[in-house]
Structure formats: structure tokens, C-alpha cells
Amino acid sequence: MVSKSAGEIGIGMLGYAFMGKAHSNAFKKISYITWPPPLEPRLVGIAGRDTEAVGEAAKRYGYEYATGDWRELIADDRIGLFDNGGPNSLHAEPTIAAAQAGKHVICEKPLGRDANESYDIWQAVAATGVKHLCAFNYRFVPAVRLAREMIEAGELGEIRHFRGRYLQDWADDPSLDTWRFDPDAAGSGAMGDIGTHVIDLARFLNGEIKTVSGFVKTFVEGRKVDDALEAAVEFDNGSVGTIEGTRLALGRRNAFQWEINGSKGSLAFDMERLNELQVFRADGERARGFKTVLVSETNHPFWEYWWPPGHIIGWGDTFVHELHHVLKSIADDTDIAPYGATFEDGYRAAEVADAIVRSGETGQRETISYRT
């Protein structure tokens, strides 16, 4: 094969299922979609408990070896970036070990199973000086990044409202059995899985949350984690709104919807139409209304890598942007923040999530305070 000029980085992956597939696909596409890649990802090793399945995954994605023990990845000097896509209970120990072994680290969200665990992961990893990204991949949807850029540029003026809800419907079956319903493995249900996505984009687009008034709710009998969360929230910037998540909204498959209203305009979004951003401007024009912007123009975020305008990308492609950002941060020694979520962001999302749970238990508005 013709050799590539970019330096190489060895990848070690923990997990081979949903996130393992999504991240492996992204690393492979980075090599030629985001051309030239900041670093050429070399898929060195993949770990998982089911050795047959992880072996199959290694063949499928082209990892040089498979292992039943993630410690093998940590010990492998060829690996410069450890990517943790395992269940939540496996986030802390391997991620910290990898960082302490000098590897850069990516960890799926939620960072830990609660704020305390998340804090510990962050602190331990930050102490090592490696790059760390908590994989809130929706920051890397072109429409979301465009929204962020518009807000940063002041195009929305002073923000009054953020309303976010992540609606899914796959969990309305008491016989379902996955680690996602096991409190030890997952820590929480809808909250950690999708609630933290809403919290992260709320923070990404609108800044810190000041108070939450809400609760979590379990509908399915016998289920040990929450199915849904509801909260009224206040932000540091004076805006107010709601944060919601549920796995039982029939008909909504992946409807992460948010709307933000400012003194100069509004934006609205739905992940089921992730290539579109609704944009309203109070510009006094007679023909007044929300524009349906197909975020696929050459001057739109990430679009330099893709197709002509109007030729949309998929959900899986958001990981290409995310992991490219990590490789670039490593190659150039630049910060993951503010466009990528660091482990501190992962911790902060967990702090807000815990506050909503606590509000449900105490019946009180909870004020967010972050540890540093």
C-alpha cells in the first residue's frame, strides 16, 4: 500500500458492540474522509469479555488482535489512544489505568455511574496530563456545531429559553434484559444514557445550569433503573427551560429535540432529522418564519470533508467528526475543549443528573455546584 505521510497512532478499543462499531467505523473513515488525517489511526487491539465475539469484531474491523482482558491493551506500548466503549461500570478502572499508562483516553458517556465516580475518573485522568474526551458525540453534529457558532457570534442575542428532550421508545417491554437495566452496570437508566446528552448540549449551547426542579420516574414494573426524567431548569445566564428524557415515548425512535430562544432569534433541532437546523431571525422581514436549513453547505461545520450540498450524512458520521477532533488535538497538542467534551464536562453532566435525581427525592429545587 502507498504509505501515508501522517504520523500513526495506535488505537486500543474496549467494547465491540454498539459503540465499538460506531467508533471503529469512525477511525476507519478518518483515514480518508477527513483527508489528510491529523494522525493515521492504526487499529491495534480490541478487548471484550466474550472472547468469541471480540475475536469476530477484530476480524470485522481489522484490529490486529483481540483480547478478553483489557489490561492487555493498557500494557501494549503500540497503543497511544485508549477508547472505552464498554458498559458504564467498566469506565473508571480501565480509563484511569490507560491514562496512567500515558495513553490518551476517550470514554463513552456517561463518564461514571454518578457524579462521584465521574469526578474521580476526571481527577485521576487529569492528573496524568493526557488528552481526555467524554464521547458526547452530538456536539459533533454539523447542525449542533452551527448552532453553537451562531450563538457564540451573538446571532441569537440574549438567551431566554432552552428546552431539550430526548425521546426514545425502545424500552417498553418488561422482558428486555441488558446491562442498561442493571443498576450496578449502568448506574442509572434513561438519565445516564440520554438525559446526560440533553444536559451536555444544554451546557454546550447555553452555558451552566444553576438550578433544577424535577425527578426521575420508572414505569416498567420490576425495572431497577429510571425510564424517564423531567426537570424545570434555570441557567446561569438567566434563561429558563426544561430538560426531559424518556425511553417510553412511542413513535419517537431517536428524537433528541431541542429549541433555544433568544432576543434576536431562535433555533430548533431534532436528531431524527440531524441534517437540518430550524433558524428564526427577528430581522423585521415581512416573510417571517423559521428556515429549514439543510446543514450541508461548503461553509458549514465539517462539510469540507463530505459531499456536495444536499447530500446528507448519517448518525454514524458524527463520530468521524468527534474522533477526528481527538486525533487533531493529540497531533497539534491543542485542547479538547471547548468543542469537544472533556472529562470535566462528563463530570459536570453527572452533577446535574444527580441533582435532578436528588430533587425528585427531596422535593426541593436543587442548586448545582461543581467541584473543581
Nearer to its own copies, 3 or 175 (CB): 3
Per-residue mark of binding to its own copies, 149-188 (x: CB under 8 A): -x---------xx-x-x-xxxx-x----------------
Positions in 81-100 near its own copies (CB under 8 A) = none
Closest to 31 (Cα-Cα) out of 66, 5, 51, 58: 5
The interface region with its own copies, picked from 175-183, 199-207, 305-313, 342-350 by CB under 8 A, is 305-313
| Count of residues of this chain found to bind its own copies when the rule CB under 8 A is applied | 105
The interface region with its own copies, picked from 71-79, 119-127, 197-205, 299-307 by CB under 8 A, is 299-307
The interface region with its own copies, picked from 56-64, 67-75, 112-120, 185-193 by CB under 8 A, is 56-64
Give the DSSP H or E segment for 319: helix 317-332
Q: Could you tell me if 187 and 88 are in contact, meaning their C-beta atoms sit under 8 angstroms apart?
A: yes
The Cα-based distances of 178 to 56, 171, 255, 302 in angstroms read: 21, 10, 22, 35
240-246 and 255-262 strand pairing:
unpaired
**For its own copies, which residue of 33, 53, 124, 126 counts as binding (CB under 8 A)?**
33
Dihedral of the alpha carbons of 69, 73, 76, 81, in degrees to the nearest 10: 180
Q: Could you tell me if 73 and 42 are in contact, meaning their C-beta atoms sit under 8 angstroms apart?
A: no
> 154: burial class by Cβ within 10 Å (0-12, 13-18, 19+)?
exposed
The Cα-based distances of 13 to 42, 45, 54, 121, 334 in angstroms read: 11, 6, 10, 18, 23
- Shortest Cβ 42–its own copies spacing (Å): 10
Nearer to its own copies, 97 or 212 (CB): 212
Nearer to its own copies, 95 or 261 (CB): 261
**For its own copies, which residue of 4, 102, 176, 332 counts as binding (CB under 8 A)?**
4
The interface region with its own copies, picked from 58-66, 80-88, 110-118, 187-195 by CB under 8 A, is 58-66
**For its own copies, which residue of 8, 182, 272, 328 counts as binding (CB under 8 A)?**
272
- Residue 137 contacts its own copies per CB under 8 A: no
Q: Could you tell me if 181 and 247 are in contact, meaning their C-beta atoms sit under 8 angstroms apart?
A: no
